[in-house]
Structure 1
Amino acid sequence: MSETPRSTGAPAHQNVTFPSGGTTAHGYLALPPSGQGPGVIVIQEWWGLTDHIADVTERLAKEGFVALAPDLYGGNVAHDGAEALRMMQDLPVSRGVELLSGAVDHLLAMPEVTSAAVGSVGFCMGGGFVLYQAATDSRVHAAVPFYGVIQGETPDFSGLKAQILGHYGERDGAIPVDSLPPLSDTIREQSGITPDFRVYPADHAFFNDGRPEVHDPESSSKAWRSTVDFLHAQLG
């Protein structure tokens, strides 16, 4: 995760509200051209619900999914790394998982959603939340963490139902590649599911095309195509 100052110049993208965690939550929803499809949750980076996350949500919709990006920061967007770190630290993992559960409730209740379970795709902080969410919510059947940062204790994966496809950069200082085999072993030992962790010749946040200093187009293209294929294979 970079401490490089980042000015978004725009508030969080929001176009839907739904009850979640005892409050009214907001999010960004995108529907596929057909008007219906399997449901996918998109989980933000530590910056917030930015243009990049809204774009990923739209891209998933174009691939045939009903995609919902819940706003975990309540409308706030970080403008630099220090602020992003503070906002991430101010969101307890348990609270984030609770809000994500409400987003799954909302998605599965939508008549446009054709799947009985959902997929979850997240980036950086959101990639870590993909794993926490999948470990605790049996309605998640496809989990895709992009360079997921696990905060604190590793989740208990004994209740995991989701297949996992993870994307990581070999030059990622926040997530050393030698940390992936132990994580894979833990997931397999606790759940019986072997995750598919893929490593690319890239940096942290390599999929974020709004950050040209780290964006890797070739790695991004490969990771995206495999993600779409994986989600369709698991959800329909």
Structure 2
Amino acid sequence: MIDITTADGTFSAYLATPPSGKGPAIVLLQEIFGVNAVMRELADFYAAQGFFALVPDLFWRLQPGIELTDKTQEEWQAAFGYMQRFDTSLGIQDVQATITHARTLPGVTGKVGAVGYCLGGFLAYLTAVRTDVNASVGYYGMNIDKFLGEAANLKKPLMLHDAGKDEFNPPEKQKLVADFFADNPLVTIHRYPEMGHAFARPGGAHYDDANAILANGRTITFFKQHLG
């Protein structure tokens, strides 16, 4: 764990380092469960692929160090409560602070990407249009359709992974986003028709190994292309 200092205070981030000790960096944007074992496992995965991987504690303004799972109803209720209280604009400021910090880490080659899941998938889009990130990837992000007015600020590549049977982000909303970006060369959208929300969450109820491997492979290729 490392500390990142902002004008509003200091928050923690989990850092995974690539075996070579050098490479681009990726900021991982959490689900609604905080910086838990799943997010740390994903960071370790990206580090093994040659990236520095940082997972900032984006709920620190509500309560630092939240670690929940998707295994009990009580934890789901707590997670939704944090999500409802989460200030998106302040969260993106913290993402920018993490991106800026990542560029100063010894061994980081300069370029920084962002990848988010669930809540983080939505934040990945906002990161793409509100920060100086070099490339962004969002997995099954919700509510992107409500923020398409900010798309004019998109200057760097964006990839989205949509779950065709996402109970939190229905197909009609996915189509709105896909149609909006259909002619934008910066945006790539992959749809997984039979998948439910969080199909790439290791150990989750909807986890699908084949589609998770496919999506993650696309993400790694995307980052190697744009952060290399």
Instruction: Give your verdict on TM over 0.5.
Output: yes
Q: Is the 8 A contact 1:66 1:113 kept in 2?
A: yes
Give the secondary structure class of the aligned counterpart of 2:206: coil
Aligned position for 2:71: none
Aligned position for 2:31: 45
Q: CA deviation at 1:153?
A: 3.8
Matches within 5 A, 1:13-32: 15-32=1-18
User: Do the aligned partners of residues 188 and 105 (structure 1) sit closer, same or farther apart at CA in structure 2, a change above 3 Å counting?
Assistant: farther
Would you identify which runs of 4 or more consecutive aligned residues in structure 1 move more than 3 Å?
A: 184-189
Of 135, 140, 144, 2:137 maps to 144
Deviates more, 1:46-55 or 1:148-157: 148-157
Could you give the per-residue CA deviations for residues 62-121 of structure 1, whole angstroms, max 9, x where no partner exists?
Answer: 100011110112211345221111101111110110111110111011121103x31110
**Structure 1 residue 169 corresponds to structure 2 residue 169:** no
Q: CA deviation at 1:186?
A: 3.7
Taking only the aligned residue pairs, the percentage that are identical comes to 28
Matches within 5 A, 1:81-230: 81-115=76-110, 117-137=111-131, 139-150=132-143, 153-154=146-147, 156-187=150-181, 192-200=184-192, 201-211=194-204, 213-230=205-222
Q: CA deviation at 1:193?
A: 4.2
User: Counterparts of 1:112 and 1:150 in 2: how far apart (Å)?
Assistant: 36
TM-score, length-normalised on structure 1?
0.86
Q: Is the 8 A contact 1:21 1:98 kept in 2?
A: no
User: Counterparts of 1:194 and 1:27 in 2: how far apart (Å)?
Assistant: 29
Aligned position for 1:76: 66
User: Counterparts of 2:25 and 2:225 in 1: how far apart (Å)?
Assistant: 13
TM-score, length-normalised on structure 2?
0.89
Deviates more, 1:143-152 or 1:126-135: 143-152
Q: CA deviation at 1:187?
A: 4.6
Could you give the per-residue CA deviations for residues 10-34 of structure 1, whole angstroms, max 9, x where no partner exists?
Answer: xxxxx11011352111010011010
User: Counterparts of 1:133 and 1:49 in 2: how far apart (Å)?
Assistant: 18
Q: Is the 8 A contact 1:40 1:120 kept in 2?
A: yes
Q: How many residues align?
A: 217
Q: Is the 8 A contact 1:184 1:195 kept in 2?
A: no
The answer for unaligned runs of 5 or more in structure 1 is 1-14
Aligned position for 1:7: none
User: Counterparts of 2:180 and 2:163 in 1: how far apart (Å)?
Assistant: 20
Aligned position for 1:67: 53
RMSD (Å), alpha carbons = 1.8
User: Counterparts of 2:45 and 2:170 in 1: how far apart (Å)?
Assistant: 29
User: Counterparts of 2:202 and 2:66 in 1: how far apart (Å)?
Assistant: 21
User: Do the aligned partners of residues 158 and 188 (structure 1) sit closer, same or farther apart at CA in structure 2, a change above 3 Å counting?
Assistant: farther
Q: CA deviation at 1:122?
A: 0.5
